[in-house]
Amino acid sequence: MSATVEMREVAPEEEGLRLDKWFRRHYPRLPRSRLEKLLRSGQIRLEGKRVKAATTLAAGQRLRVPPILEAPRPAEKAPQIAAADHAMLEAVLLYRDDWLIALDKPHGLAVQGGSRQQRHLDALLPALAEGGETPRLVHRLDRDTSGVLLLASTREAARRLSAVFRCDKPRKIYWALVVGSPEKKRGEINLPLAKSGPAGGEKVMVDEAGKPARTRYAVLGRSHGVTWLGLRPMTGRTHQLRVHCLAKGWPIVGDGKYGGRQAFPEQPALPGKLMLHARELALPHPSDETTFRAVAPPPEHMLAAFEALGFDPADGKAAAAASWLEEA
């Protein structure tokens, strides 16, 4: 039982977690009614301010936790990770050093768990420990988005990398196949975004009262009413690329959540999976500030779509068109 006030820091891997879920993770036997009472009375504070159960946490924030009549969750035994998952992690490893790890996250693998996610990357990270610290998540990709995902090898690396991501410093470039086509070969989408709907069923929408969101785009190819886009999010909002493309009339192929039936063109027949891939990530290396860059090849379902449309991932003209996205 905690008998004194504690100051707890939000860990990098807890970035984006709701406050009530943070307490459920650290104090699993704390009744919801007791938590709400502590919040209403102001005994729980975030960065010195009153806070609500639904507040989203950021890495490095400090929580004031009053004495709680509940023992913290005991240390759990190391999870047993299947041999197939060990092999999968080895196959998707792009880069590793003493500070960071870059993975090519597969389509369909959730980064973190939830009520419907029994298998997720966060639970598999102990397999990458190699006798040291368990790697930590410093950013996320949607379950159905493939591509470059960065992990911190140590707590100190996580602290430094989380600061970089909070400032939107990383250069992230995505490939997407969209239905329709922009009139201009390159440009910028500047539309504020906000979440709407009940918890667990939230969707992101364009909202003038929302948070600023900017996305650069470049046309890399066109075929059969489908466009191959290079996308660079200049801000890091949830579902930013999916909602920005939809708002411009170009739903991402396979994005049933936002694009509905329009996101599944009948001709040519394409794999019914989300065609959004985190192609490249570049940022200051946490050890010496030199530029670290990781590139992930397109997943099999996207390569199949490229073949059906006549796109070549190694096309020099496409690479030249995408180079504009790399400019500061």
Q: Which positions are catalytic?
A: 142
Instruction: Please provide the DSSP assignment of 160-212 as one string.
Output: HHHHHHHTT-SEEEEEEEEES--SSSEEEEE--EEEESSTTS-EEEE-TTSB-
Helix (H, G, I), strand (E, B) or coil at 101: strand
**Unique residue bearing structure tokens 């768990």:** 113
Question: What's the rounded Cα separation, in Å, for the pair 142 and 149?
Answer: 11
Helix (H, G, I), strand (E, B) or coil at 7: strand
Instruction: Please provide the DSSP assignment of 198-231 as one string.
Output: STTS-EEEE-TTSB--EEEEEEEEEETTEEEEEE
Question: What's the rounded Cα separation, in Å, for the pair 14 and 221?
Answer: 38
Residue 71, φ and ψ in degrees, nearest 5: -80, 135
